Amino acid sequence: MSLNTPLKNLPRVTPKYAQALAKLGLLTVRDLLFHLPARYDDFRRTVALLEEYLEQTVTIEGRIIKAKNIRTWKKRMTITEVFIMDDNEIEMKAVWFNQSYILDSLIVGSTIRLSGKLSMDDDVFSMSNPAWERSARDATNTGCLVPIYPETKGLTSKWLRWQIKILLEAAREMPDVLSAELREKYHLYDIFTALTELHFPESREKLLRAQKRMAFQEMFLVQLQTQKIKKDWAGKKSLSIVFDEKLIQSFVKKLPFTLTDAQRKSTFEILKDLEKPQPMNRLLNGDVGSGKTVVAAVAALQVVSAGHQVAIMAPTEVLAKQHFESFCELFKDYDFNIALLTNSYKLLNKKSELNSDSELSSDFLALAIKRDELLDEIKSGEINLIIGTHALIQKDVAFKNMALVIIDEQHRFGVAQRAALQQETASINDGAKKTIPHLLTMTATPIPRTLSIAFFGSLDLSILDEMPKNRKPIITTVVAPEENHKIYALIKSEIKKGRQVFIIFPLIDESLSATMAEVKAATTEHQRLSEKVFPEFKLGLLHGKLKPKEKEEVMQKFKNREFDILVSTSVVEVGVDIPNASIMIIENAERFGLSQLHQFRGRVGRGAHQSYCFLFSQKKSERLRTLEKTNDGFVIAEADLKLRGPGQFFGVVQSGLPDITMENLTNVKLIKFAQEEASAILKVDPQLKKHPPLADALQKFSEHIHLE
C-alpha cells in the first residue's frame, strides 16, 4: 500500500463505501489522510459515576451486566438498552435509538467505554446515544479528543476514524513540503506527526501545534502562488501611457463635486502604473458609494486620449448598462465613441451619428446597432470605450489597440470565471502582438487588511476609505417586531415627500427549492404590503426567477419613479444607483452577514436627502448593533471577519482552502512569515527546481485552489 493506492482497492472498502468516499472527492490513501476533522468532541474526562458530573460530557468505563432491544410498536422504533456497572458497583443505563445492530457487539460480561452527556433517569445514571468502544481497544471514539469529520450519507466519523487509524502509517513515506530548516525555524511538526496529531490528538496543545503547521503550509503555498503570478505578470510588456496632467486637471475641475483625498491618491497610483512598460495589475477597493466610477473614468480618459481602446466589464447586464449611462454622461463633452455590448444590448454612443433630430432615450444618447456591425466598429478602432459583461472576452470579439481592461465587482464573477479573467485579459485579442493590456479590478466589498495580505498578494492595492463630503451618514436602527408599525408610518410620510423605499428579504439557500420558497415568500409579502400596509402606493417586485431583461425593466421603472416601493429578494444589484431612494428595510436581518447588510444599506443614501436603514430582526442581536454604530465598511468588514471567520467572508470559502487555513487567515504574523519565506525561496530558486516536493505541491495546489 502507498499514498497513491486507490481506496476502492483496500480490503475494508466495499463498493458502497468507495462510492460514498468518491462523493467527498476521496479517491486515494493520500486524499483520506488529508480529509481533516471539522471539529473534535472532548471526551478526555474519564470519571466515576457521581452526581457532581451530571449534565457534563464525560467518559465512563464499566462492565456490561444487561443488554436488550425493545421494539415500540406505537412509535415504530427499536430502543437498545445496555446496563453497565463501574468499579464502585454503581449502575448506568445507555440508550440508542434505531441502532439494533449495536447489540451484536455489546456482549454481557465485556468491558466498554462510553462517552456522552451524563444525566439521571428515574434515579439511575444514564446516557443517550453515547459514543462507545471496547476498553481493550486504543481510545479512538471515546476517552480522548474525538475527531468529527465532514460526512456524507453512508459514511460516519466512526468508520472514517477506524480506516484512518490503520492507514496513518503510510504518511511516514510522504515527502515533506516544508524543509527541515523551515520546520526548525518556526517550531513546526513534520508532516507525519502533524497528520497523526490532527486525526488523533494527544492533547489540545499538540492539536493546535499541528493545525498551525498545516495553516503555515497552505499560507506558504498561497504566497508562492501569488508571488509567482506577480513575477510572471511583471515579466510581460504593456503600452506605456504618459500621464497628461493638463487633460486630467481639466476633467477633474469640470466635475460637479470635489474628489476626496483617497480618490486623488488612488487616481495618481493608477496613472503612474499606466506609465510603466509592465502591465498594471491593481485592485481598487472602495466602500459602497466611495466613488470608484470616477477614478476608473480618469484612467479611461487618459488611455483613450492617448489613442487606445478601453474595455469595462461588469458581472451583470444591469450594472453594465448603468456604467454605460454613467460614462456617456461623464464624457459628453469629449469626442469619444462609447459602446455597450451584452447578450441583450448592442448600443452605440457615436458623436458623429448623434444629432438633435435622433429619436433617442431621454436618459442618455445611444443608438441600437446589430452585433456584427458593432464588432466591426470595435475591431476597426472606431469605438474608444467598450462596456459590457463577460461577453467582451468571447472569441469573436477583437480589438484594434486595447490598452486597459477594467473589471468591476470582480468577486461577483464566480471563482472559475475570476481565475480565467486575468488569463483572458493577458490573451485578449487586443490588436497588439507583443503587449497585453493594463488591468484594473474594482470591488465594493471592503476587504480586511489580513485578507488582502493573504489573498491579494499578486495585486497592488488602492483603497478608497473616505466618503464624498456631501454624503449624509445613513441612520441605521435595529427594529423589534412590535415596532414595525412605527417604521411603516415613517415610510408613508417619506413617500409623500417624494422619496422611495427598498424592502429586502433574505435568500436562505442557493438551492432551487429554497429559491422558489423565497420567490413565493417575496410574492406573498408583496401582496400583503400592497393590500394591507401600503394600499395607496405602487409596489414593484424583484426576485431571482426573473429573466435579466425583466429585472432590468423593474429597476428602470423604479428609477423612473413608477414604483414607490421595491420589494426584493437579496438579488438586488450591488452598484445600482437610485438617488431618490432614502429608506431601506431588511427583513430577518439576523440571517445576513454584516458585510452583506452594509452592501444592501449602500443602495440608499446616494442623493441629497437624509436616508435610513431599518434592520427588522426577530431576535435581539448585539451583532447587528455594529451597523447602528458605524457606516465605515472597513470597520464592519473587520467585525464580520471576527464574528463569522474568513471562510464566510464574501465566499472565500469557495477558494478550496482547508478550514484550518481559513481559521488562521486572521493570523497576520503567520501570513507575514509565509510571505517572507516564499519570497526568499523564489529569489534563489524561481522555478523551484531544487525543491521538488514543493514544486509538486504547488502544482497540485494551483489546480485546486482559486486565488483572486
Structural domains of the chain, with CATH: 41-145 (2.40.50.140), 216-234+663-704 (no CATH), 245-464 (3.40.50.300), 475-630 (3.40.50.300)
- Say which range, 17-26, 89-98, 524-533, has the weakest mean pLDDT: 524-533
CA distances from 345 to 324, 368, 575, 704 (A): 11, 8, 19, 35
- Determine the average pLDDT of the residues in 493-518: 71
pLDDT in tens, 422-479: 566 666 666 667 888 899 989 887 877 777 777 777 788 898 888 877 778 899 999 9
Confidence category of residue 655, pLDDT binned at 50, 70, 90: low
Find the helix or strand (DSSP H, E) in which 196 lies.
helix 191-199
| CA 38 to centroid of chain Cα atoms | 19
pLDDT in tens, 268-315: 999 999 999 999 989 898 887 788 999 999 999 999 999 999 999 988
User: Rounded to whole angstroms, how far apart are CA atoms 381 and 308?
Assistant: 8
pLDDT in tens, 176-198: 999 999 999 999 999 999 999 99
User: Rounded to whole angstroms, how far apart are CA atoms 298 and 210?
Assistant: 50
Residue with cell 491618491: 265
Confidence category of residue 360, pLDDT binned at 50, 70, 90: very low
- Determine the average pLDDT of the residues in 154-158: 89
- Say which range, 17-21, 222-226, 458-462, 517-521, has the weakest mean pLDDT: 517-521
Three cell numbers at 60? 465512563
pLDDT in tens, 361-419: 434 567 888 889 989 999 899 999 999 988 887 778 888 888 999 988 765 554 445 44
- Determine the average pLDDT of the residues in 340-346: 86
Closest listed residue to residue 198, CA positions, set 669, 691, 659, 586: 659
Is residue 350's pLDDT more than 80? no
Kind of pairing between the strands at 77-85 and 91-97: antiparallel
**Residue 510 confidence (pLDDT):** 43
Q: Determine if the pTM surpasses 0.85.
A: no
Residue 77 CB neighbours (<10 A) = 12
Between CA 276 and CA 286, with CA 282 as vertex, the angle to 5 degrees is: 140
Task: Let me know: does 606 contact 289? Beta carbons within 8 Å.
Answer: yes
Q: Is 41 helix (H, G, I), strand (E, B) or coil?
A: strand
- Determine the average pLDDT of the residues in 496-507: 86
For 557-611, the three-class secondary structure string (H helix, E strand, C coil) is HHHCCCCCEEEEECCCCCCCCCCCEEEEEECCHHHCCHHHHHHHHCCCCCCCCCC
Is residue 359's pLDDT more than 60? no
Q: Rounded mean pLDDT of the chain?
A: 85
Percentage, residues of the chain above pLDDT 70: 87
Is residue 316's pLDDT more than 70? yes
Three cell numbers at 184? 526548525
| CA 632 to centroid of chain Cα atoms | 20
Residue with cell 481497544: 137
Kind of pairing between the strands at 131-134 and 539-542: unpaired
Residue 9 CB neighbours (<10 A) = 11
Closest listed residue to residue 447, CA positions, set 459, 429, 436: 459
Is residue 320's pLDDT more than 80? yes
Q: Is 474 helix (H, G, I), strand (E, B) or coil?
A: coil
Closest listed residue to residue 603, CA positions, set 648, 640, 558, 538: 558
Task: Let me know: does 706 contact 416? Beta carbons within 8 Å.
Answer: yes
Residue type (1 letter), 627 = L
Q: Give me the phi and psi of 402, to 5 degrees please.
A: -70, 125
Q: Is 15 helix (H, G, I), strand (E, B) or coil?
A: helix
Between CA 47 and CA 54, with CA 48 as vertex, the angle to 5 degrees is: 80
**Residue 508 confidence (pLDDT):** 45
Is residue 216's pLDDT more than 60? yes
User: Rounded to whole angstroms, how far apart are CA atoms 465 and 186?
Assistant: 35
- Determine the average pLDDT of the residues in 313-319: 85
**Residue 362 confidence (pLDDT):** 38
- Determine the average pLDDT of the residues in 657-661: 67
Enter the DSSP assignment of 175: P
CA distances from 292 to 269, 299, 441, 444 (A): 14, 11, 10, 8
Residues in the chain: 708
Residue with cell 507525519: 192
Classify residue 201 by burial, with Cβ atoms within 10 Å: 0-12, 13-18, 19+: buried
Strand order in the sheet with 91-97: 119-121, 124-128, 91-97, 77-85, 57-72, 111-117, 131-134
Enter the DSSP assignment of 621: -
Residue 533 CB neighbours (<10 A) = 16
Q: Give me the phi and psi of 241, to 5 degrees please.
A: -110, 115
pLDDT in tens, 102-139: 898 898 999 999 999 999 988 899 999 999 989 888 88
Percentage, residues of the chain above pLDDT 90: 39
- Say which range, 143-152, 195-204, 237-246, 518-527, has the weakest mean pLDDT: 518-527
Q: Which residues make Cβ contacts (< 8 Å) with residue 679, sequence separation at least 6?
A: 223, 227
CA distances from 250 to 304, 305, 436 (A): 15, 13, 29
CA distances from 643 to 39, 70, 535, 648, 649 (A): 18, 46, 40, 10, 10
